[in-house]
Structure 1
Amino acid sequence: MQVPPHPHIGLQTVSWLHDGEVLHRDSLGSLQTVRPRELGLMTAGRAIAHSEESPREHARILHGAQLWVALPDAHRSTDPAFEHHGDLPVVTGPGFSGTVILGGLDGAVSPGTVFSPIVGADVTLADGADVRLPVEPDFEYAVLTMSGVTEVDGVRAEPGSMVYLGCGRRELRLRADGTSGLVLLGGEPFEEKLVMWWNFVARSGEEIRRAREEWTSGERFGVVHGYHGPPIPAPALPDVPLKPRGRVR
């Protein structure tokens, strides 16, 4: 993995690995190797830049997910920050264990900072497990299959697939055909309209244009020290207006 310095605004990045390592550097001066089942949580807020690369000595396989969480309007210009949490809470039951990445699940709460009601949990199911996870009826949910095959609410989910589940349930049934791993994602429906372009989450095309100009001119985002190589240049803006879009189109 070799991702040179690049900018973000208006979001959090959630780095979660099953295999391999990622070396994180950012314009705050953070330097951290993120390893499997450790949370690397970067809050971009008003502006941050970072790089991501495999360490010089690294595992043969890199397998994980990076999730982007849009910050609500009241917090999208918050101070940038980076958190690393290697000791996360775990919930267990017959045939399963779940590491709480963000938010809370079944009474266990992650130490990671959140700005809206959300949850992320890494769940491992034993062969033949038939589990009913407690969930919040006001949250909408999705399941991302990381390994093995899981039956999610009656739907067979192969590795790399995501099942969207919507709202209105108090429990989620999971059945494993062999050992399997998945990430449960959820939160209150996000009703704000967003403009997402390149690495930016904003509320208007003008805000995107300004962020792009400031990255190109070297303003606002700071410098990622220690990375050997130039930053990623911003791509050209499209010829059409960037319009805010919401959950309903």
Structure 2
Amino acid sequence: MATGRSGDKNQLKLYSFWLSSCSHRVRIALNLKGLSYEYIAVDLSKDEQFSPEFSKLNPLGYVPVLVDGDIVLADSLAIIMYLEEKYPQHPLLPQDLQKRGINYQVANIVFSSIQPRQIPLYRRVRLPKYIEKVGPNESLAWAKFHNDKGFTAIEKLLKDHSGRYATGDEVSLADLFLAPQIHAAINRFDVDMTQFPLLSRLNKAYNEIPAFRDTTPEKQPDAPAKAC
């Protein structure tokens, strides 16, 4: 594992991988809340997530992991909700209960119905066996199918709730989950975004915010040179 940024012992530490959309959404949350952190790279392509050192932080072997003093948290949603409660600046959840519920729904569609079904880029991350046997082209089709299905549902869900951002004119939890997924859909899975006008509009808005732009995979310290 490599450290991308150094800091004092009390600084937040984020164990991350440049291409991980789960890590990406946590980086956005940290930036929006103005929190400095030490970036510790975990190279999934080299199985560093299964090292004894990292297994002590997260036995599941997933990134991201956030360390805040004596508190260690894995899972992007758990981390973001922890940050929301401990660091209330730039709140990520609307006061309106209906809009708050929509945020939870969007986040759930991304992290349970789209993101887990993306192409396995790293060893020991596998698609169902019947997909794996067919070949890489079918694997891409599998990923695109679930992106399209999830995005179609989200477009309908946000139709009557969106403003400048997903559920209004302030960035919220849903945006943190949408931005990395849209970035991956465009740059990794060749999804035709013209069929998703609302999400395309949101993506343009995200690209205007430094807290979003600075957290994209290609700008991370562990990104390969060709990705920059």
TM-score (norm 1): 0.27
Higher RCO, Cα 8 Å, sep 6+: 2
TM-score (norm 2): 0.29
Tell me which protein shows more strand as a share of its residues: 1
Q: Which has the larger radius of gyration?
A: 1
